[in-house]
Structure 1
Amino acid sequence: MNNLEIPTNKTPLLGVDSSQSLNTSPSCSTFLPEEDASTCPLLPNTPSPPPQMNFNDPLTPNILNENCSQPGTDDFVNDNPRAADRAAEEDTSSCSGSSGCIDGQVVAGTTTVFNPNVYQHFGKNDEVIPESETQLHAHLNLPDSKDVPSFVYWNWKLIRKCSFFFFVAGVVAIAATVVSMIYLLPKTCNPKTVWYEGSVFYEIHPTRFPDSNVDGFGDLRGLADRVDYLTKLGVVGVRLNSIFPMKNSPNHFQNITSLFEIDDVLGNHTDMINLIRIFHKNNLSLVLDLPIYPFMTKLDPVTTTIEESTKHPMIIEQGALRVSRAPLETNKLICALKMWIECGVDGFYIKGLENMYEDPLLLPNIRAWKAVIGDNRILMVNNQLLENVKQPLAEEIVRHVDLVDIFIDVTNSTQQIAKQINQHLNGVLKPGNDAAFIQWSIGGVSEHETQKSYELTTNGTLAATLMSLMLPGTPNVYHGDGNNEGKSQQQFSKAIDSQQWHSSPQTNTENGLNNSSRINPDDLDTITRMITLRDISPSIHLNKYKKKDKYESNTSAMYHENGNILILVRWYPRRNTFASISNFGITNITMDLTNFFYSGQIMIGGEAHEKIYFDRFEIGPSKTIVIKIDK
């Protein structure tokens, strides 16, 4: 021993008697069941392997079996993995019953598993794996375990295909949905309105429209033949003047004899139903004038409730419409309304009520009429009725009607016109939740004042029409040859087809019409563009906007000190502001309007989108210019 008391002899501290019979071949390396506790003989308090027992340390795969090639041979020196594989195959045939076999089953391939010089080639059971020019067999016959999850045995190949298919289909579906949503997006984001609010109506006297039988009188069939003209114009509906039998047809059109029949000059009920069907097919509505005065001098009582009033069946016999009245219904006008509703009429203008404003049954009848007509059809009265009754009754009437017809005499001064417009917009018809819409008319077959409007020149008629299309509410464009009352049938029958708008300022001596009041064909395109601009611009077709839970008018009517200039300004929040400037005089006018506007673009009445400034604004006689004001 040295100074550190460490033995100096070369006697080994631990000796292991390795028998020659110890199986050292890595191809047969395995554990015995008794060796689960410990495999390392160097640890204390652990049993060592009994003598004469075959023991292969899995951590030392370089311990070779005597059946395998010994170190120093050519195969191991040259690191030949195929030689090791062949040795393993030979060893598996001789290890039956030894420690390299478990439960009588040969565990093949263990030599190559622990041999660092061998590349491993695993495959399915009995699968031949080619390598170069040799074939290697890998036998991994391992018993199935009960702890293997069930999803291991699923058909994952089919699952992968289905998942890929559904993924691609989902991507395509999402892309198609996005494209369709973009395609279906509205071109404009304007507030919704009822079909008649802000739209344009076209008033027609049927006898003054083209006829189909060349008898000199317009009729329902001739009107049906010109439906393309109406759709091109851009109007939403047609107001049809009296179609009922007259004592002196067609001159005394207001003096009717029935509310159920149609004048023979115009056609029959079959023609009427066909006309309504054609209108609806072309997205046109039909509003029928009912001139009840002087046919009725007082209103009938409402004898039944709305629930008790049943519909009246229609029977068409040889062009005539027969109505079977309900035994409890005695109100003639309610019966007439129900009959024409079944024909398809979309609204009614009850004319002559202004002559019955003192009738105590006025308000009950109006309520009953609106209940029968419904919300999707319109009920219209004249503004003269509201002016004749007291204000409380007028306010109650406007809650049960949809439109109020107001006539504007454009031959008055612009100061009077502006005053009239502002009064109506701030009176009982002030825009609000319960207020009726205004129908503005500058002409009409039933107005005596229309004769004045026909004294305008051709450009004056166009200027007045464009001005009316700038007003809030529902403008009404009148189509007719003029007031022919008092003329003979022979003179009336020779009236020029009003579909042919004449531009020459000459008087027709046969019918007494001033042809200069008609609009020429070139101006029809101007009216069509104005109607289109109105439809797409909330500033023009809407009559109010909401401000702090309160509705306010969006229209301002002004006149210039010149006396012939009328200015209408229309606006809406977060929309463009439009202004129309009308000159109803006979001379050119140059003026400074910078107090109101600075600049803008011409939309109607000049070169489209032309930039203008208002420091020296010039406008010709009998002309209306619509301008989009710059923000």
Structure 2
Amino acid sequence: MSDLAENGLISTILPEVCYPSLNATAGLVSTPMSEFLADEEAASTRPLLTPSPPAEFDHPLSITPSTGMAYERQISPTSIDELSSLPGLNCDATLGFVGLTATDMHPNEHNIIHHNDEVQQEFIPTRSVQSVMESSSSSSSVMQEPTVCAQLLSSHHYQHLTKASDVDPFACQENGGKPPLTGLQLAVRKSPDDFCFMSWNWPLIRKFSFWSAVSLLMACVCIVITLIARLPTDCKPHHAWWQGTIFYEVFPASFKDDNSDGIGDLRGLGKQAFYFTSLGVKVVRLNSIFHADYYPEGYEDVQNLTEISPVLGNMKDFNFAINTLHKHNISVVLDFPLSPFIEQLRLTEKEVPAETDVSVKETSWPVHTDSTTEDKTGRNINVEASNRINTKQIHNDNIVTNAISFWLTNGVDGIYLKGLECLVSEPNFASLMQEWRRITKSFNKGFGHEKIVMCSMDVINALDPEDDSRKVEAVLQNIDLIDVRLDIVSNGTRGLKTQVDKVVKGILFSKPGYPWIHWHMGSIGTKRLASQLPTANASLAAVALEMILPGTPSIFYGDEVGLEELKDPEGEMNDLKHIHHLSPLQWPAQHPELRFTLPHILPWLPLSSVSSNVAAGHETIVQTISKLREDTPSIYMDGVYKDNEKLPNYEIRTVDNNIVTVERSYPRRHSYVVVSNFGSQTQTKDLSSIYYGGEVVADLQGRVGRYLTFHALTLSAGEFIIIKLDK
């Protein structure tokens, strides 16, 4: 029986051949089968089939002459050559296989072989041999006992043997009448044609494998190139659109007149979007635009938070301005004056308990559009179609809640709750904050399109951190920007350092998630910087100092050109004294075509003077600082976040009451220093004990790009300089 071995060879199990012993009574002699060793070395490598018999035992395969033996000559090592020439002997160079004969077999049970006219009966193992006796004798015992057959078997000698299934096994007398102990395993190497893989198309397989490997390698190279190409060119910490960007506060009635009535309007504001872009402004904050009986003089007497003053235009004009600014990537924040509506808010809140769950209902606000513009998403707008946007309104209706939903629906990006400090004493103050914040969140469209809420620092100052902890936490959790006014005029540079340190090291910096600071030096509620500082040029120095502080800076319209207050030496306009700082903007001299209104039209408020030195280069200076602030984490980040703590990344140093330096830093980035002179005289200071030197990045003397040292730094009155320090 042939089996396929693990090494790929054919294994054949041959039963041991056991010849029956000589039957003395019958006179039968078994046919001998002998195999001879050429020498002793060969004998040591071939196992014996039969054990060494005792001396008296007449082995059937012995060379002793017996009846029916093919050869009756004793074999000796010297007679091997003679054996190789005998008839019926089949052997190779080292081992031979002697044909066996059987005298006791029937003629039909064996084949007749003719050799040199002699007839021999071929031994048929399948009929006469069923087992072979085991041998444990060594080659030396074979040579010592001449009567023992030194029969060595190898696999190739028995390739012609087959196992007959119809032969009944018989017992061997020498084995005690038991079946053979072991079998002989023959291994024949399998032909290569029998393996299935030999018929495969190996040339095609090799080509396929090669090009597959090449394709995989090219794919890996393409992936690596794509990943490298998509890597950011710089590693800057991310910030939201209102964090660290420049705000520009506008009083629309004094900005640009488009319909030639002497009063600025919303369409004029929208058409000047390029001016905001030239300054690097990212957010425009609109002061009160709501209907009042005597607008713009009586702008504070607001009667409705959802109706625009007819002097400024209508909702179509408003949407034109909003859409135009959005196309220039400029966001819009709207001021909400709450003071006129305090009593209404109190009455509404008394009717609804603070613990009552706030329900939501669907409401539709009309959206007025303009045919000449596109909406924020770039879709064309049809004036004739009355678009309505579904939004969510809190069921607990009040005038502020409805107004927030209305203006956010019409594209406003943020709300400034002015006068919120007047509500801190109300028991439901915290619930109001949560309610208004919930409305703004319903309009969020992702991290880059979040709606924000602002309030003044006066709200936190009006609350006690211990007694009003719940209200304080409501402000810190629901407000995005806290507006802080810096008073450099009254406090001087030393007072400015104290004020900034108090704010930065206060509660706003106690946790990373708290609101950012919104700095301003000029606003609708303050006097003009150019009229209060020793020189008009100092207004631009104040703007540069504010833009270098940690947080979000804000520029009041006209401060970038040194706009002064309205001068009324005769007192003819004392009744308008509260709006003397709101005189119309005088556009730069390099743009003569850009006037506030037509030359023959009188503006609603007389024009005021501006500082020519500031106005000449204000666009370049402000834009340079804006670009620096946008690209430099040392400046636009308000602190360093480490181990869940917010650490300040600024240092203010004052040399005297006129010279102030502000240093900004960030890990693994250059540090920047702004040095400003708010005095009335030129000063030369030695600051080498603090800094050594650096490259000028912004100033008014044309020194940008030069390397300066601090051992003799000269600044004229109202001048500033920004230097990038050496690492």
* TM-score, with length taken from structure 2: 0.62
1:334 matched to which residue of 2? 401
Pairing partner for 1:577 from 650, 671, 677: 671
Pairing partner for 1:359 from 426, 451, 465: 426
**1:260: Cα distance to partner?**
0.6
**1:472: Cα distance to partner?**
0.7
* Residue 226 (structure 2) pairs with residue 184 (structure 1): no
Q: 1:333 & 1:352 partners in 2: Cα distance?
A: 12
SS in 1 for 2:651: strand
Q: 1:361 & 1:343 partners in 2: Cα distance?
A: 28
**1:381: Cα distance to partner?**
0.8
> Aligned letter for 1:402?
D
> Aligned letter for 1:557?
I
Over 3 Å counting, the alpha-carbon distance change for 1:272 and 1:167 in structure 2 is farther
2:549 matched to which residue of 1? 471
* Residue 496 (structure 2) pairs with residue 417 (structure 1): yes
RMSD: 3.9
Q: Deviations over 1:33-91 (max 9, x none)?
A: x99xx6525635656998579xxxxxxxxxxxxxxxxxxxxxxxxxxxxxxxxxxxxxx
1:524 matched to which residue of 2? 619
**1:522: Cα distance to partner?**
2.1
Q: 2:682 & 2:639 partners in 1: Cα distance?
A: 34
> Aligned letter for 1:391?
P
Alignment gaps of 5+ in structure 2: 1-78, 101-112, 118-189, 371-385, 445-449, 567-572, 593-601
- 8 Å CA contact retained: 2:416, 2:453: yes
Task: Choose 590-599 or 340-349, whichever is displaced more.
Answer: 590-599
> Aligned letter for 1:459?
N
Over 3 Å counting, the alpha-carbon distance change for 1:213 and 1:586 in structure 2 is same
Q: 1:317 & 1:285 partners in 2: Cα distance?
A: 19
Q: State, as a whole percentage, how many aligned pairs show the same letter.
A: 28
Pairing partner for 1:315 from 366, 375, 387: 366
Count of residue pairs brought into register by the alignment: 508
Over 3 Å counting, the alpha-carbon distance change for 1:169 and 1:368 in structure 2 is same
Q: 1:424 & 1:12 partners in 2: Cα distance?
A: 118
Task: Choose 568-577 or 334-343, whichever is displaced more.
Answer: 568-577
- 8 Å CA contact retained: 2:534, 2:680: no
- 8 Å CA contact retained: 1:581, 1:626: yes
Q: 1:50 & 1:583 partners in 2: Cα distance?
A: 134
**1:322: Cα distance to partner?**
9.7
Over 3 Å counting, the alpha-carbon distance change for 1:171 and 1:317 in structure 2 is closer
1:225 matched to which residue of 2? 271
Q: Deviations over 1:94-129 (max 9, x none)?
A: xxxxxxxxxxxxxxxxxxxxxxxxxxxxxxxxxxxx
SS in 2 for 1:513: coil
- 8 Å CA contact retained: 1:455, 1:514: no
* Residue 325 (structure 2) pairs with residue 282 (structure 1): no
Superposed, 1:595-610 pairs within 5 Å as 595-605=689-699, 607-610=703-706
Superposed, 1:117-196 pairs within 5 Å as 147-149=194-196, 151-196=197-242
**1:160: Cα distance to partner?**
4.2
1:384 matched to which residue of 2? 458
Q: 2:302 & 2:477 partners in 1: Cα distance?
A: 29
Q: 1:52 & 1:213 partners in 2: Cα distance?
A: 139
2:319 matched to which residue of 1? 273
2:538 matched to which residue of 1? 460
Q: 2:669 & 2:510 partners in 1: Cα distance?
A: 19
1:614 matched to which residue of 2? 710
**1:16: Cα distance to partner?**
8.0
Superposed, 1:211-250 pairs within 5 Å as 211-250=257-296
**1:351: Cα distance to partner?**
0.9
* Residue 685 (structure 2) pairs with residue 591 (structure 1): yes
Q: Deviations over 1:385-419 (max 9, x none)?
A: 22233234373223321111111223231111111
1:117 matched to which residue of 2? none
SS in 2 for 1:312: strand
- 8 Å CA contact retained: 1:292, 1:351: yes
* TM-score, with length taken from structure 1: 0.71
**1:423: Cα distance to partner?**
1.3
Q: 1:478 & 1:497 partners in 2: Cα distance?
A: 11
**1:450: Cα distance to partner?**
3.7
Over 3 Å counting, the alpha-carbon distance change for 1:208 and 1:171 in structure 2 is farther
- 8 Å CA contact retained: 2:696, 2:704: yes
2:95 matched to which residue of 1? 43
SS in 1 for 2:297: coil
**1:173: Cα distance to partner?**
2.9
**1:556: Cα distance to partner?**
1.8
Alignment gaps of 5+ in structure 1: 1-10, 20-33, 54-142
Over 3 Å counting, the alpha-carbon distance change for 1:522 and 1:450 in structure 2 is closer
**1:265: Cα distance to partner?**
1.9
2:477 matched to which residue of 1? 399
Q: Deviations over 1:355-398 (max 9, x none)?
A: 44433333321222112112722111112222233234373223
Q: 1:390 & 1:42 partners in 2: Cα distance?
A: 115
Q: Deviations over 1:525-549 (max 9, x none)?
A: 1111111111222121111213454
**1:422: Cα distance to partner?**
1.1
Q: Deviations over 1:214-251 (max 9, x none)?
A: 22222222222222332332222111111111221112
Over 3 Å counting, the alpha-carbon distance change for 1:185 and 1:145 in structure 2 is closer
* Residue 496 (structure 2) pairs with residue 429 (structure 1): no
Q: 2:669 & 2:453 partners in 1: Cα distance?
A: 31
Q: 1:250 & 1:322 partners in 2: Cα distance?
A: 30
2:521 matched to which residue of 1? 442
- 8 Å CA contact retained: 1:200, 1:475: yes
**1:164: Cα distance to partner?**
4.2
1:568 matched to which residue of 2? 662
Q: 1:528 & 1:50 partners in 2: Cα distance?
A: 120
1:500 matched to which residue of 2? 588
- 8 Å CA contact retained: 2:534, 2:679: no
